[in-house]
Amino acid sequence: MTEKLHDKLKKAALTLLMSQDVRKNARDAWQMLENLLPEASSAFYKFLEQNEWLEIIEQQHRQLLIDRQTKHWNLLFQADFSDNYIDSAMSIGLEHAKYNLSPSHYVFGYTFLLNILMREINDVSGDNPCRALELTQAINSLMLVDMSLVLSLYNNNFVILD
């Protein structure tokens, strides 16, 4: 991966988030949500198994995926789009392409987890609707930027990896 593409991805991510306030709200939201992510990820895999959308994943492998997802989101919610974050997003996109996972499954996974995170924000900040909205908007911005980067990488590399 060239430095030029790295810089382009980083600039796109920072541009899409637009303001320092959104980035600060994303970091604030992460403080509320970080401990919830492993449980939410575990619920996601159980849901997939119950609906036969995913073959049963060995517990050891599942924990590795949850750990990797938590690490990636920790980078994401710093909202600084560091080289470490860009490398992580690139790795995820290439990994999904390598195993021929449909982008729709990736979007579904984000939707599932996003709903859990939004419920938590509402539970924690429901008495302050303006704050809940700020946090929700920041999370939506982050998640959509992340999804856009990962899916762009997936689509650009899918044919190469076939």
Structural contact between residues 4 and 80, judged by C-beta atoms closer than 8 angstroms: no
Average pLDDT over residues 67-89: 85
Average pLDDT over residues 60-77: 82
Higher confidence at residue 162 or residue 137? 137
Average pLDDT over residues 39-58: 70
Is 70 exceeded by the pLDDT of residue 162? no
Is 70 exceeded by the pLDDT of residue 82? yes
Domain assignments of the chain as residue spans, ordered by start:
21-161
Dihedral in degrees, nearest 10, Cα atoms 34, 139, 79, 134: -110
Average pLDDT over residues 49-75: 73
Segment 17-33, tens digit of pLDDT: 668 888 899 999 999 99
Q: How confident is the model at residue 108 (pLDDT cuts 50, 70, 90)?
A: confident
For 21-161, CATH gives: 1.10.490.10
Is 70 exceeded by the pLDDT of residue 43? yes
Residues 20, 152, 71, 137: is their CA dihedral positive or negative? Answer: positive
Is 90 exceeded by the pLDDT of residue 132? yes
Segment 92-105, tens digit of pLDDT: 777 777 767 777 77
For the whole model, what pTM was predicted?
0.78
